[in-house]
A and B are shown apart, each in its own frame.
Chain A
């Protein structure tokens, strides 16, 4: 991006609307000049940084650190001073299992159900998401008529809110919904998909792919478009077959973007909540209960809420996310170096 000169001087209406703002800004200038005289020009940097850092400190860093304290306390009280110290008990409870593969053998069985569900969800969703968005990006990268239209088609759901996404699909998958209508035309009986353990799980995977695929397609498409065309021309001159060109040129050069996308999809898949919560509410039973919903319900929604347990679970999830993010940063660094050598 480059600093362009904004064009036109704004409409008359905009100008008038700006008058009070301008007056306000002029009014705070005088006290700020005083501050500047006290702090010096360098000190004003602190002034400009302060609001952002304050908000960061209070609403991100502070919670991040006291989360550890929460995870070592018990009881239902909300404020930290009112809570009793229990050491590693919450973690012990989470890990109290006879057999980790069988949630029913665990003290906190819903946690392990959620972990298992999330693991399956991540494996399936990430694989399919990468596959679909890569295929779509490859197709959009072809010499298409109205490419920006087609790109917009696949991008459209990305902006929809998770609640809207959940409701749209809840409406389509319900008994009188569009899906049953289509199958009815083929001679099938109507079925309540979201009451079926396996189908509702499949629905959460499919719907989350539907909603976010366009975003990753866009990143991959940008990567594809950055590959110089003359490489393909050179390959064609050498008589390289298209499939070979894909494996030997496209894929290696797309690798930096692809790795970034894989990690991003992973990070978001682990945290899946909103659209699933609206679509299935975690059900039927606990078949679509994922880890964020477990934390939310343990910490807030159940009668016997247990903030300490929720905090412990969230720290475990945070650990997974940090590892994934560091992997991403590492890969990004490597990608940059590669780019520099090119």
Chain B
């Protein structure tokens, strides 16, 4: 056991704990709570009923107060466990509360009112997951639409990105032509032109093309990513030129060379770009917010932000839908994190 502990808490100091060892573990454990805590809290909260959400102090787990329907009362009444004057405990239902005194009835004898000080009763609560937070937005609200819009934008934009960027990368890595360096520099220069700088004229161009309030207006401006061209080109440069010569001798057209030789061999880099593109497009916010003004066109991000900005925020739905919005990204994180981290470390792209 101590051997294991020794292994886990490998230290700098050969005898005893050096202050850096303590600092390291404080930082790591603190980081664990700060980084994961908020998301975990969000997920936990998303299963609470609106009443439980309004409670302060909040409970860790989603509880609801048990209710019982009692003869003579229309609405179901909250059940409480009450400590009686004689020290025994009883479960009573609250009829109404006046100041610090609660009027209660016993389910067995609905006619007899018992007065109890509120300090002497605690609600009878059971754990219950408010799955309606999830199911209702899907049936009563537009969330299915938003979800579909987001999926459509993400998938379409990623596919187009992969094709258009890989074609450009092929031209820039395997052909000699005048202006190649210029084209490459032009593409890299666009890294310096972020959306926030050109949103006004871009909006007018998208409108002029009739793409305002159109999902294609969200998709098209994003697909020619300079980073995508760049990483694909770097990768294609490692494919030997002789393969292309061989294919030309084999009577392949240039399109076939691209499609049947270059693309399959670039698969690892395409996978990295695909993952990034999915995350980028799924998370896009400002541009869809500008281009989409009709409710039925909102993507999840826009829909969520609009709903959360309303005066009367329905937090139970917002929280649940935030969790739904997180799911694809969390899946990417769990299964494909390795690709992403090596991609970032290798190219510094985000």
A interface with B by C-beta (< 8 Å): 1-4, 6, 25, 28-29, 32-33, 36, 41-42, 44-49, 51-53, 55-56, 58-64, 66-67, 69-70, 78-80, 135-136, 139, 142-145, 150-164, 166-172, 175-178, 180-181, 184-185, 190, 210, 214-215, 218-219, 221-222, 242, 260, 264, 271, 273-274, 277-278, 281, 292, 295-296, 299-300, 307, 310-311, 314-315, 317-318, 321-322, 325
Whether the pair B35, A156 counts as a contact (CB closer than 8 A) is yes
Given known A49-B171, A160-B329, A274-B285, contact A168–B198 (CB-CB < 8 A): no
Residues of A within 8 A of B38 (CB): 168-169, 172, 178, 210
- Additional pairs, 4, CB under 8 Å, beyond known A210-B34, A218-B341: A1-B238, A55-B220, A295-B199, A296-B199
Query: 30 A–B contact pairs at CB < 8 A?
Result: A1-B235, A1-B268, A29-B253, A42-B175, A48-B258, A52-B167, A55-B223, A60-B193, A67-B198, A67-B200, A70-B200, A79-B204, A145-B7, A153-B28, A153-B32, A156-B35, A156-B39, A157-B39, A163-B325, A164-B326, A167-B322, A172-B38, A180-B56, A210-B38, A219-B348, A292-B286, A296-B286, A311-B201, A317-B196, A317-B197
In this complex, the member of B224, B248, B254 whose beta carbon has the largest number of chain A beta carbons within 10 angstroms is: B254
Task: Tell me the smallest distance from the CB of A149 to a CB of chain B, in Å.
Answer: 9
Decide if B191 is an interface residue (CB 8 Å cutoff).
yes
Whether the pair A157, B27 counts as a contact (CB closer than 8 A) is no
Given known A167-B304, A180-B56, A219-B348, contact A145–B10 (CB-CB < 8 A): yes
Majority secondary structure, B binding face? helix
| Closest residue on chain A to residue B348 by CB atoms | A219
Cβ-defined partner of A300 (8 Å) among B27, B203, B309: B203
| Closest residue on chain A to residue B341 by CB atoms | A218
Which stretch from B70-78, B82-90, B102-110, B182-190 is at the chain A interface?
A: B182-190
Interface residues of B in 196-250 (CB under 8 A from A): 196-209, 220-221, 223-224, 229, 234-235, 238-239, 248
| Closest residue on chain B to residue A315 by CB atoms | B197
Decide if B158 is an interface residue (CB 8 Å cutoff).
no
- CA of A78 to CA of B198, assembled, Å: 14
B interface with A by C-beta (< 8 Å): 7-10, 12, 20, 23-24, 27-28, 31-32, 34-39, 41-42, 45, 53-58, 163-165, 167-168, 170-172, 175-177, 180, 183, 186-187, 190-194, 196-209, 220-221, 223-224, 229, 234-235, 238-239, 248, 253-256, 258-259, 264-269, 279, 282-283, 285-286, 290, 301, 304-305, 308-309, 315, 318-319, 322, 325-326, 329-330, 332-333, 337, 340-341, 344-346, 348, 350
Between A and B, how many residue pairs show CB distances below 8 Å? 309
Q: Which 4 A-B pairs have the closest CB atoms?
A: A161-B283, A52-B168, A45-B175, A222-B345
